[in-house]
Amino acid sequence: MTAMPSTNGPLRWLSELTRQTRPSSWEEINDLLTHIQERGHPTRPRVDDDYRRHFGRGTAFITFGYGIDGVTIEVAKYAQSLEDIYRSAHSHAIYLIGESFAPETASILPPDWQRIPLNGIDGWDKWGDGVWFDALFRKTLIARSEASRRLAINIFEQAASIAERLGRLLVEHQITLLAPVNIASNPGNLAATLGVIMATEALGTHVLNINHDFYWEGGKSLAERTADELPGVRDHFFKNILNRPFFELFRRLYPWNGERWLQVNINARQSRKLIQKHRFPQEKVMEISTCVSDRFFEAYDQQDVLDCRNRMGYILSDGDAIIHPRTVDEHIAALDLWMEEQKPCVISARPGLTVDLRAEGLLILLQPTRVIGRKRITKNLDLIEALLTKSQLREAFENNPQRQLVLHITGPAPREHKADLLSVLQRFKNVVDTLPARIAERIFLAFSVGQESHPSFARLGFKPLTIEDIYRLADVVVFPSTTEGRGLPIIEASASGIPIICSRYSPKEVFAEVVGEHLPEKFRIHYLRFPEKFFAPGFLSTVSELLLKPKSNPLYSQHNRTAVRARYGRETFKAHLKKLLWRLHRLDQEAGAE
């Protein structure tokens, strides 16, 4: 590795560092990071005594890309609340940095938050079309082999380019606070993580490192997994644990313990692991909650529900008042094309059917997630099959030939999860093939893929749907996920007053925290637990009752709304964010006093 350059300023030093330093192994990259930390910030930026004024000059969020997903929705909440906090100090510039910005995000990310594209930082199969992710986490990488050495060189070259470009952006826009979201916890792009670390360390930028998911959550090495233990969804991150030079660097990066970095996790379990196992100082680890908008708590009536369903109908039908579904066989046959286009659609058992979401007696089960295996959408189809064979819902369908049921999935289907989508479609096909034709032809599967508007809305005078409107579509929200960092649909459904059927997902401690098992009764969220093995008659009867007589149990609406407002209201969230900013500000003051 070449000698370290010495320069007059942080940006110039960063530029020379990225252009002249050429690590040729994972060990040398690790040594470089040690040198950067030991050298310290060449010129420590002055920190204003008022943390609101200082961070309000320029706060930027950075993540792989922005779409209709949980990360983007949470970023919108963080940014809006920070903007409200900064406004009192008359300084509130908000920036969003990412490789891509889906058009649909216009409905949740205001236009005055400046978008800054940064090529090369998207993650997983979108990082170099999956070449680099595969090389690091799906293929065996022999320690100190030529292939390992070449990969280290290539990853550093990408990181150096990202660091230099990001550094210029931070200086140009006077960004005093950078908030990476999942960049340094869920390893979708190792080069991006390394680039963010080098840029912020060289410039002395404050970092609020927001961690939704860690690579070890749902992941273990083969040696750690017992013989009877099923594989985890993130086991691939341990694929090359035997390549010690690589894995030592990997563990050091996720997350990075920088001098001006505050680790902000979404649950207490994550924080304990950072402190107890990874030896992070307790004062540099905190949690961030979530919030729901005030509109979730507004009163709404059946006419409001029909209005929301009407607008969604135009989205799902591509601009028509009535939806004309495609058959499941047609959809499977054209799945590759649909995965590229991801246009909203509705799937049916046979051709020639129609759906009107405004129709009396139409039932909607809503799963507000993306199509990912761990979300277990297929269990909803298991439930539908059981309801229509073993409960009073079957009788309701027999007695009313106009009654229909829609399972609506709101999020997109990431291309790397095509197999998961195919499993959902195959399970739907199995269900409609099993049920009598007169029942099967009234069961539908809807995918709105994050769309909340349609070109026809301008002609019809419709407003785009909002996240609050989406929940109002539902008779019941279903959430049979196996693993979650938080479990936002439980909170949002409860704020809407919609019954929630959910699994007691892992980590169990996180689930307990979300529903408030440790809290007094008035703060606990009431839910119906998704059975793991079979649907008991009592459970099916309860679900049927919720669908057919939604007002028969007002407890969900009244109690859950009150509990969620107290725990996840906007003012509570802003007060918590102020504590995070103050803590980050104090860390810097304490470091400067040493």
- Tens digits of residue pLDDT in 160-210: 999 999 999 999 999 999 999 999 999 999 999 999 999 999 898 999 999
Q: Is the dihedral of CA 92, 95, 96, 97 positive or negative?
A: negative
Q: 304 to each of 463, 473, 495, how far by Cα in Å? A: 13, 9, 16
Of 370 and 587, which is predicted with more confidence?
370
pLDDT of residue 7: 36
- Which of 83-92, 182-191, 413-422, 583-592 ranks highest by mean pLDDT? 182-191
Residues 60 and 205 in one domain: yes
pLDDT of residue 492: 95
How does residue 551 score in pLDDT terms, banded at 50, 70 and 90? low
Task: Provide the domain limits for residue 61.
Answer: 23-291+577-593
How does residue 552 score in pLDDT terms, banded at 50, 70 and 90? low
- Of the listed ranges 3-17, 305-319, 375-389, 421-435, the least confidently predicted one is 3-17
Of 41 and 242, which is predicted with more confidence?
242
Strand partners, 95: 60, 114
Count of the separate structural domains present in the chain: 2
Q: Over 50: is that where the pLDDT of 2 sits?
A: no
Q: Over 90: is that where the pLDDT of 557 sits?
A: no
How does residue 398 score in pLDDT terms, banded at 50, 70 and 90? very high
What is the pLDDT averaged over residues 74-88? Answer: 91
pLDDT of residue 6: 40
Distance from C-alpha of 225 to C-alpha of 235, rounded to nearest angstrom: 10
Phi/psi at 211 (nearest 5 deg)? -115, 110
Residues 286 and 298 in one domain: no
pLDDT of residue 554: 56
Residues 588 and 471 in one domain: no
Residues 447 and 509 in one domain: yes
Task: Determine the Cα angle at 185 with ends 183 and 189, to 5°.
Answer: 45
Distance of CA 288 to the CA centre of its chain: 14
As a whole-number percent, the residues of the chain with pLDDT over 90 amount to: 74
Q: Is residue 350 situated within a structural domain?
A: yes
What is the pLDDT averaged over residues 464-493? Answer: 93
Q: Is residue 392 situated within a structural domain?
A: yes
Q: Over 90: is that where the pLDDT of 147 sits?
A: yes
The string of pLDDT tens digits covering residues 404-456 is: 999 999 999 888 899 999 999 999 999 999 999 999 999 999 999 989 999 99
As a whole-number percent, the residues of the chain with pLDDT over 70 amount to: 94
Residues 365 and 382 in one domain: yes
Q: Is residue 410 situated within a structural domain?
A: yes
Residues 221 and 264 in one domain: yes
Residues 87 and 180 in one domain: yes
Tokens of 126: 């979108």
pLDDT of residue 594: 43
Nearest C-alpha neighbor of 583 from the set 289, 290, 286: 286
Region of 390 please: left (phi>0), alpha (psi -120 to 50) or beta: alpha
Residues 546 and 483 in one domain: yes
The position carrying tokens 């949980």 is 70
pLDDT of residue 193: 98
What is the pLDDT averaged over residues 350-374? Answer: 95
Q: Is residue 402 situated within a structural domain?
A: yes
**Average pLDDT, whole number, for the chain?**
90
pLDDT of residue 462: 96
Q: Is residue 506 situated within a structural domain?
A: yes
pLDDT of residue 5: 42
pLDDT of residue 216: 92
What is the pLDDT averaged over residues 285-292? Answer: 90
Of 594 and 217, which is predicted with more confidence?
217
Nearest C-alpha neighbor of 13 from the set 49, 47, 40: 40
Q: Is residue 231 situated within a structural domain?
A: yes
User: Which residues fall within 8 angstroms of residue 202, CB to CB, at 6 or more apart?
Assistant: 10, 11, 13, 14, 17, 36, 41, 42, 163, 167
Residues 282 and 346 in one domain: no
pLDDT of residue 48: 66
CATH number where 235 lies:
3.40.50.2000
Residues 457 and 494 in one domain: yes
Residues 276 and 300 in one domain: no
Q: Is residue 303 situated within a structural domain?
A: yes
Helix, strand or coil for residue 66?
strand
Q: Is residue 5 situated within a structural domain?
A: no
Indicate the pairing of strand 528-529 with strand 443-447: unpaired
Tokens of 159: 């990181």
pLDDT of residue 494: 95
Residues 564 and 550 in one domain: yes
Is 234 within 8 Å of 215 (Cβ atoms)? yes
